[in-house]
Structure 1
Amino acid sequence: MSRTKIRLEHLTKRFPGQQQPAVDDLSLEIPEGEIVIFVGPSGCGKTTTMKLINRLIEPTSGRIFLDDEDVTRVDADRLRRRIGYVIQQIGLFPHQTIAENIATVPRLLKWDKARIAKRVDELIETVGMDPATYRDRYPKQLSGGQRQRIGVARAMSADPDVMLMDEPFGAIDPITRDRLQNEFLRLQSEIKKTIVFVTHDIDEAIKMGDRIAILREGSHVAQYDTPERILVDPADDFVADFIGRGASLKRLSLSRVRDIELGVWPTVDDGTDAEQARRALLATDRGCLLVLDDRRRPRSWVGADHLGRADGPRLSETGLPVAVVTPHATLSDTLNEMITARYSTAVVVDESGAYAGVVDIDTINEAIRGMRSGERSAARDRLEAGPRPEPAP
């Protein structure tokens, strides 16, 4: 495990009028540069625990350490300026422009105007948006996914080492949610922040987390481990029930396209004559060709039937649409794209959008077989190790 960034020691929170503490004697270490997910049933204390970390809620007892400094008694506002915070409702100020929203903390820190303007544009670009287009717009002029991106940008504005994210993608449609998750994981691979992330969704936890803390009522830790270990070797029946069925399929969220060997596919330039393309197709053992434009970006699949009907200057004017994924996509995302596409092969593109290879159903099957083999091996190890000790209440 890497250096500990956040350490919680015997953290407890009792709210007035409640018999049981919301957080009960929690001790946990969060490694630097990792995404740690808090997940568990409703009311288990996961959001309360997150809010204790930046003291939006004050602990009843226990201590919070950030970089080995006890921050339990330091000025709470100063602490929060060291920690980025993203919530599901985003919380952008509606009367302020996007630039003004992102600049909130830098202004409090008294940065000069030139430094703030540079940081704002840098962050808008970092989250995949054009500064010239969006900096002077207001939140109501953005889509839900765009507002969520700006919420992340605002949390990163003062370049905090730590970010807290409370169900940040929970209120977004599933397609946008997948894209934002993938974009955030790509971003995290570059910035390496320490992130505490709350979700109620075990599939999101498996996809996003370097480590997962599955919490029982009172923020008691049922299991704190890597996603793979939790899926292969759940600590007890509570964890196994929370994960649910289909652990092998869930493990597809642990593997990414960049981790597997890509297949190759016969390609043809978009401007190729239909007769030349037909001859190229006959020379392959495939049922269709992948059409690429002049920047090698995939445009369509064309088979013999399409080529027979092609009468325009561009082959991409006919054929079937292409399901495109990036190297950062999980195999779960890739399988979903393949299932919903009319041609069940996903095309992988690089950062410029150029063709890099393909993933087909055989590749996915091979990954699942490898996962099942790992699960059988873990089961043998558990049998040899004997019964696991009962977790502390």
Structure 2
Amino acid sequence: MTATDQIAGPGASQAAATTAEPMIRLEELTKSYRGQKKPAVDRVTMDMPRGEIIVLVGPSGCGKTTTMELINRLIEPTSGRIHLDGEDVTTADPDTLRRRIGYVIQQIGLFPHFTVGENIATVPKLLGWDKARIGNRVDELLDLVGLDPAVFAKRYPKELSGGQRQRIGVARALAADPPVMLMDEPFGAIDPITRERLQNEFLRLQQQVKKTIVFVTHDIDEAIKLGDRIAILGEQSRIAQYDTPANILSNPASTYVEDFIGSGASLKRLNLSLVGDVALDTGAATARIDGTAAEARDTLESSGRSALLLLDGQGRPQRWVDARDLDRADGDLRRAGEPVSALVDTGATLSYALNEMLTSNAGVALVVDGSGAFQGLLDFETVMVTTRSIQRDSSDFYRAAKAVTD
């Protein structure tokens, strides 16, 4: 049975079909347990391209975690084949195989009696790396996940926040530079605000490391945001649709997929684009908050805008002011106008930005880079245009693919 055979309905395309050798290939992969009438995983066949995030999503009990754990043989398959980078690893030594694959779980699983540095160094030590190489790698990875090595390397897991522990879990999985990472609901036990930030950080990291990542979640919104391709699974891990997020939203393959996506597909498309990918309004009137009211007034009048954005010395947004605010400023701009709201970084999704805009008095989002420096404004018109463009592009792709298959 091919992945195309498993897809339910004519509207699903086999997005994993590529001319290049996939990083992971599963062939008729099956797992049966003694005493159970049906297999937990039934003849799953799919290709997972190199350097992409493939999300397995489905309801509880459908077998998505079991499918993922078959890849690194934490669970041994009953039948079928597993290929990793062109090599059949179905019967390879499982310990050797797992050292080639990073693994991150929801509970993180850091060793409590090891320091952060020792946790990250676990697999490199098993591989026989020398001390200097391990130390350099630990420092490199802590920098990569945004944690200062001088501050965090000697700490213990109990001294970290949940978000920090999750970052260390990702760093540990990356330690030996594996080509493949498996991630089982890694952000599931974290509060929504921290979860959003970690998702953004995760996407930023992937742009740098370009790993092949198999990511398990039950949250379709998370799948849409993170996945290059999504496999929506039904009972026994049978593939209901395997495609890009845009195509799944525009062309669900069956009523099961439609029901799983739920209502609000148009809004869900906003998870397909990042703020940094759209054209921003870079013509906002700005002035230094430590400047004079007279200078600010001149800037505002010459700009033709109704409001002026005050920035600090590092270019970070501080306050909004208009002409009346400047008349009442009494020479001190630090208390003039209103503090800024709806700050979003370039790695945030348009969905997150829209939510911030709806709660902002200004009606726009202030886009900042990783250091908090102002990059431009995002308005409702840009969000609407981007959403329509995503929908149009997905429909065009689907019609072209259908014409080829017909």
Instruction: Please say whether Structure 1 and Structure 2 have the same fold, judged by a TM-score greater than 0.5.
Output: yes
Q: Which has the higher contact order (CA 8 A, sep 6+)?
A: 2
Partner residue, 1:330: 349
Structure 2 residue 168 is the aligned partner of structure 1 residue 150: yes
Between the two proteins, the alignment pairs up a number of residues equal to 385
- Aligned mates of 1:310, 1:72 — CA distance in 2: 72
Q: Distance in 2 between matches of 1:292 and 1:171?
A: 36
What is the aligned-residue RMSD (CA, Å)?
2.1
**Contact (CA 8 Å) 1:248, 1:371: kept in 2 or not?**
no
> Is the 1:320–1:342 Cα contact (8 Å) retained in structure 2?
no
1:309: Cα distance to partner?
4.2
CA contact (8 A) 2:51 2:211 kept: yes
From 167, 184, 189, the equivalent of 1:166 is 184
Please give the residue correspondences for 1:1-393 in structure 2 after superposition, counting only pairs within 5 Å: 1=18, 2-263=20-281, 264-311=283-330, 313-315=332-334, 319-371=338-390, 373=392, 381=399
The CA distance in 1 between the partners of 2:137 and 2:158, in whole Å, is 22
CA shift for structure 1 position 368:
2.9
Question: 1:316 offset after TM fit, Å?
Answer: 6.3
| Uncovered stretches (5+) of structure 2, i.e. residues with no partner | 1-17
Q: Give distance in 2, aligned partners of 1:119 and 1:135.
A: 11
Identity across aligned pairs (percent)? 61
Write the deviation string for residues 305-360 of structure 1: whole angstroms up to 9, x where unpaired: 54344346443675222432232222112112222334321122234432221101
Distance 1:292 1:199 in 2: 40
How far off is 1:191 after superposition? 0.8
Q: Which runs of 4+ in 1 moved over 4 A?
A: 311-314, 371-379
Equivalent position SS for 1:4: coil
Distance 1:209 1:69 in 2: 25
Instruction: Give me the whole-angstrom Cα distance separating, in 2, the residues matched to 1:227 and 1:24.
Output: 24
| Matched-pair contact (CA < 8 Å) for 2:49–2:212 | yes
CA distance in 1, matches of 2:240, 2:368: 40
Shift of 1:371: 4.2
Amino acid of the structure 1 residue aligned with 2:152: Y
How far the C-alpha of 1:107 sits from its partner, in A, is 1.0
Q: Is the 8 A contact 1:321 1:342 kept in 2?
A: no
3-state secondary structure, aligned to 1:180:
helix
* Equivalent-residue separation in structure 1 for 2:325 and 2:93 (angstroms): 68
Q: How far apart in 2 are the matches of 1:106 and 1:284? A: 57
Go from structure 1 to structure 2 and tell me whether the alpha carbon gap of 1:226 and 1:272 turns closer, same or farther (over 3 Å shift): same
- After superposition, the Cα gap between the structure-2 partners of 1:75 and 1:377, relative to the gap in structure 1 and judged at 3 Å, is closer
Letter in 2 for 1:37: V
- Of stretches 43-52 and 324-333 in structure 1, the one that deviates more from structure 2 is 324-333
- 1: CA distance between counterparts of 2:164 and 2:353? 23
Q: Do the aligned residues in 2 keep the contact of 1:272 with 1:315 (CA within 8 Å)?
A: no
